[in-house]
Chain A
Amino acid sequence: MRKTVLAKARILLSNAHCCNSPRQAHNLLSPLPSSLSRFLSSSSPSPSPSMAPPVSLHTINPKVLKCEYAVRGEIVSLAQRLQQELEVKPGSHPFDEILYCNIGNPQSLGQQPITFFREVLALCDHPALLDISETHGLFSADAIQRAWQILDQIPGRATGAYSHSQGIKGLRDKIAAGIEARDGYPADPNDIFLTDGASPAVHMMMQLLIRSEKDGILCPIPQYPLYSASIALHGGTLVPYYLDEANGWGLEVSELKKQLENAKSKGIAVRALVVINPGNPTGQVLAEYNQRQIVDFCKQEGLVLLADEVYQENVYVPEKQFHSFKKISRSMGYGEKDISLVSFQSVSKGYHGECGKRGGYMEVTGFGPDVREQIYKVASVNLCSNISGQILASLVMNPPKVGDESYESYIAERDGILSSLARRAKTLEEAFNRLEGVTCNKAEGAMYLFPRISLPEKAIKAAQDAKTAPDAFYCRRLLNATGIVVVPGSGFGQVPGTWHFRCTILPQEDKIPAVVSRLTDFHKSFMDEFRD
C-alpha cells in the first residue's frame, strides 16, 4: 500500500482532531462560527476542522480493532514485502524464495487437486460440454455421470443462480448420506447449512450465541485464531481451557470444569465449548473415551458443543482414528433432545485442499425448530454460499466408490497425498526435536507442527528491547534469515512464559530437506548469538 505524504498528513490530522475534540452530533440550534455555517447555505461547503472522518481508526467499531488474526498477521505482511523485494532485486536476501509455512493452504505449495472433483466442477460450470461428443474422450465417464446428476438437482441446471439458503437440496441429501456412511448414524439434510468454508458457519454460531460480553465461549489454548477473532467481533468473552502439552496436548475434563467455574464466578454465562479435532495448531486426535467425557460435560452443563472437524481426513497415526462427535453422542444414546451439537466440515483440508473454492458446511442438531428458523433467517441474508463450493462439499462427502471408473486413480491420488503428509509430519517433527532447546509433540493429525522453544534470557531481553513478543522476535529473525514464514505461538495462545511457533507440514516433499537444513542452521546461529 502506498503511503503518500498527503495520506500521512491526513491521518495525523484526523488523529489530532480526535484527541482534541471528541465527535459531537451536529446541533443546528447552537451558534456557529461563520466558517461552519456551510450547511445553512447550499453553496460550496467547507470541511469541519473539528470533525473526525466517519471512517477512521477512532470512529470505527472498536470490536474490529480488538480482533486479531495472526495467521495472516504482521510476519506474513513482512514476508510479502520481502517477496516483492526479491522479485525486484534478486539476491537482495540470503534466500531465493519465501516459503509460506504459515497457513494450511496446500495447493499454494504444489499439492494437486483431485482429478475427479475438478472434472465434475468443470462440467457443471460449462454444461454445454456435456452435449458434445469430444467430452467423452476428455472426461471420465463417472465424472460425466455425476455432473448430470448434480445438474439435474439444480433448478434450470443453472449453477450461476442463487440456491436455497441452506444449499442445494440434492447436494445436502448426498452430504447427509455421506455423514451416515461415515458414522453409522442417520443425518438429516435439513440439518445441513452449506457455507463458504467452515469460517462463515463459525461466525454464524458466534453471532447466534453471543448476546453481550457476559457470554463466554470455552476455547482450547492453543486455538485456531478464527475463534478468538470471531468472539471479539461479536462482542463476547473467550474463556480459555489449556491443552496439556506434556501429555500430547491432551484435553482434561477437569480443566474444562475448572475454567467453567472460574468464568461463572466472574459473572460470565458460558454458552458453548469449542473442540477442534484433530487439533489446530496442536494436531492431537482425541481418544474416544475423551470424546465421551466431553459430550457428557456439555450435556451436564447445558453447553452447545461446537465441533470443528475440518481435519477429519488428516490422521497420520495408526493408533488413533477420527470419530465425529455426532457419532460419539449417538453411540452414547444421546439424541436431539439431549445435546446441542454443531459439527463443522470444510473442503479446504483433508486430501482435497480446495481452500480457494470456499466450500464447507455445518450440521446443526439438537436445536428447537424456532432457533433453527432463526439460523435459516441469518443464512438467508447472504442468500447462499457459492455453488462450486457446494458441489465440492457433496463430492468430498461422497467420493468415487469401488467399481466407479475413477475409483482407482482417485484412491491413488488420495493415498499419495495423505501418506506424503504423514511422512512430512514425521520428518519435520524429528527435525524440530533435534534443535537445541526445542521440543515438539507429534502431529497425530491436521497440517501443523507446534514446537516449543525455550528462549534464552538474552533473546527475551532483545525481544523486549525491540518491543516484540519473544516468539514473534524469533519468527521474524527466522524469516529474515531463511525466507521461511511461520506464525508465532502468541497468535494461538499458549501457557504464559512458554513460546511456540506453528509451522505447516505442507511444503512439497522435495523441499523439506532444504527447509530442515535452513531452519537447523538458523536455529544454531540464533542460539549461538543469544545463548545464556
Chain B
Amino acid sequence: MQILNTIIRGAGDGVLVPVPQYPLYSAAITLFGGSLVPYYLEETANWGLDINDLQHAVAEAHTKGITIKAMVIINPGNPTGQCLSEANLREILQFCYRENLVLLGDEVYQQNIYQDERPFVSARKVLMDMGPPLSREIQLVSFHTVSKGYWGECGQRGGYFEMTNIPLQTVDEIYKVASVSLSPNVPAQIFMGLMVNPPKPRDISYGKFVRESQDILESLRRRARIMTDGFNSCRNVVCNFTEGAMYSFPQIRLPPRAIEAAKKAGKVADVFYCLKLLEETGISTVPGSGFGQKEGVFHLRTTILPAEEDMPAIMASFKRFNDEFMEQYEDYRGYSRM
C-alpha cells in the first residue's frame, strides 16, 4: 500500500496488474485514485504471461490518456500459482525498461514451490544477472512476508519491501511516510529476522526446524496434487496444477440454465455457485469474480490448506455437490464457455 500510494498521483497513473489477481492490488489502486490496467494471464498456457498482451494493454491505456507507471507480478501467482521462469522474468524486466515502468515483485510465496521444473528465482537476481546498464537502471520493489512459506505467521503482520534503483531522495520520502506510522511491530521484525536466518546445521534446533518445515512443505505439495486431481476428475471442471502459492483456482464450466438461475437470484454465476457450495457442503471458497477473469469464464479459489487427512473427504464432498449441481442445471444444449 505504501509503495502504490507513493507511485500513484491520480487517475492518469496506471498500474499493470495481472488478471486474475490478489485483490489487494485492485483495492489499493482504487483507494489511491489510480487506474488498474489489466493484463490477462492465459489459462490454457498454464496461466502464462504474453509480452505482446502487455504491449497491447499499455498501448490501449495510452489511447485513454493513462500513463502506465508500474507493473505488478505475483510470483508464484495468487490465485493462479504459476511460477515464472528466468526467461519470463528477463522478458518482463526488459519490457519494464522499454516502457519505463517500475516492477513491483510480489514474491510472498517464494517458499511455496510444488514442482521442480521452475524453482523460484527472484526478480532482483535476474535483474542483477543482466548486468549494467539494465541492472543499475530498472526500478524494482520486491515484497516478502512472514505470513506464507512454511511459517504461516499471518497474525504477526510481518513483511518487508526491498527497493532497487530507487533514487535516494525518493527513498527519503518513502522513509518519511513510513515514519508517520513510527515503526512496524517488533515481534514481527524478530520473526522476519528468524525467517531469513533460520537455524543452521549443527544448531541445536536445526533438526527439529528442518523436520517441521519440510513436513509442512511436502504436505502442501501433496495437497496441491490431491486438489488439482480432485477438481480435474469432475467433467465440467478444468484445473491447472498449483505450481506454487497456496491456492487452487479451478475453472467451473456452468451450463446456461445455471447462469440464468444466478441472474434471477441477482448474483454473478460464480458467486451463485460458491454460495450453493457453501450451503450444501460447508466448504467456503472465493468466487473467481473476486480476482478477475475473462468474460463468461468462471472460477473459484480455494486454499490447499485444509489438513491432509481431511482432503479426500473434502474433494469427495465437492464432487458430489458439483455433480448434483450439474444434474440440476444441465440441459445438454451446451456449456457456458469453451
Contact = CB atoms under 8 A, between A and B. Distances in A.
A230 B180 CA distance: 8
Interface in A377-413: 378, 381-389
Contacts of B136: 6
Contacts of A14: 167
Interface stretch (B64-72, B81-89, B251-259): B64-72
Majority SS of interface residues in chain B? helix
Contacts, number: 169
A14 B154 CA distance: 39
A386 B189 CA distance: 12
Interface in A1-60: 1, 3, 6-7, 10-11, 14, 23, 25-28, 38-39, 44-45, 47-48, 51, 53-57, 59-60
Interface in A47-79: 47-48, 51, 53-57, 59-62, 64-65, 67-69, 71-73
Given A160-B156, A383-B154, A357 B186 contact: yes
Given A23-B67, A57-B173, A161 B155 contact: yes
A359 B9 CA distance: 31
A196 B155 CA distance: 12
Contact of B185 (A6, A27, A196): A196
B31 interface: yes
Given A61-B7, A64-B177, A357 B185 contact: yes
B43 interface: no
A309 B265 CA distance: 47
Nearest to B9: A61
Given A197-B181, A386-B187, A55 B155 contact: no
A385 to B, nearest CB: 7
B100 A53 contact: yes
B182 interface: yes
Contact of A60 (B58, B152, B157, B170): B170
Q: Interface size for chain B: under 10, 10 to 19, 20 to 34, or 35 or more residues?
A: 35 or more
Contacts of A51: 100
Chain A residues touching B, majority SS: loop
Interface stretch (B91-99, B224-232, B274-282, B323-331): B91-99
Contacts of A38: 98
B182 A53 contact: no
B74 interface: no
Interface in A83-142: 125
A207 interface: yes
Interface residues of A, number: 67
Given A384-B155, A386-B187, A199 B182 contact: yes
A68 B176 contact: yes
Given A45-B94, A64-B177, A386-B156, A197 B182 contact: yes
A387 B157 CA distance: 8
B194 interface: no
A60 B100 contact: no
Nearest to B136: A6
* 10 closest cross-chain pairs (CB), A and B: A356-B186, A387-B155, A358-B185, A72-B179, A386-B157, A39-B98, A162-B154, A160-B153, A54-B69, A54-B102
15 contacts: A1-B172, A11-B167, A25-B65, A45-B97, A56-B167, A60-B170, A61-B8, A61-B32, A64-B5, A67-B180, A161-B152, A203-B181, A358-B157, A358-B183, A387-B155
Given A55-B170, A386-B155, 20 more contacts: A6-B136, A7-B167, A11-B167, A11-B169, A39-B55, A39-B98, A45-B94, A53-B137, A56-B170, A57-B169, A60-B6, A67-B180, A159-B155, A160-B153, A196-B157, A203-B181, A355-B182, A356-B185, A358-B157, A383-B157
